[in-house]
Amino acid sequence: MKHEDEVDRIIADWSRARPDLDLAPLSVFSRLSRIAKHLDRARAHAFERSGLSSWEFDVLAVLRRGGEPYRQSPKTLVQQTMVSSGTMTNRIDRMAERKLVRRLTDPNDGRGVLVEMTQQGQTLVDAAMTRLSDAEERLLAGLPRSERDRLAALLRRLAASVDRFESPVTEPITLPALD
């Protein structure tokens, strides 16, 4: 039995208003958008409960995933968090003030800098990751493992397809013009 959701109702309305359009993409991306809103709320709550903002978690997560000694170049942080270098500089400054990270001179390049996570940063990012994992598990609880795996595989393919439109962070994405 098929269960209708809000997106089905929206598509039905659009089908009546614009029967000339292929609304199949709307059925995918509207659902992704709605799911993303739920995920954003769950993530924000997990991070807030752990004393972090979303962007602080993003930076600390890059450092934590990189393994000991939990340090990376600002360039790596920019690439992995998909923000501009100016934004990253501001973030590092603010996180250093909170004693979540510290700047070190790069031993391989005296002019270079490395960003290292502090013990306090590690404690907070580990707590946030535990809470995030629990929250995401609750969001997926309605799907058995086999469906989760299939969904992950399909989303991986969709992400690869969508990524072909990705431009450098500083440039806007250019989509085809409407006639």
Backbone angles phi, psi at 43, to 5 degrees: -65, -45
**Tens-place pLDDT, residues 29-47:** 999 999 999 999 999 999 9
Residues of the chain with pLDDT > 90: what percent? 80
Side chain identity, residue 137: E
**Tens-place pLDDT, residues 91-139:** 999 999 999 999 999 888 878 899 999 999 999 999 999 999 999 999 9
Which pTM was predicted? 0.77
Backbone angles phi, psi at 143, to 5 degrees: -115, 130
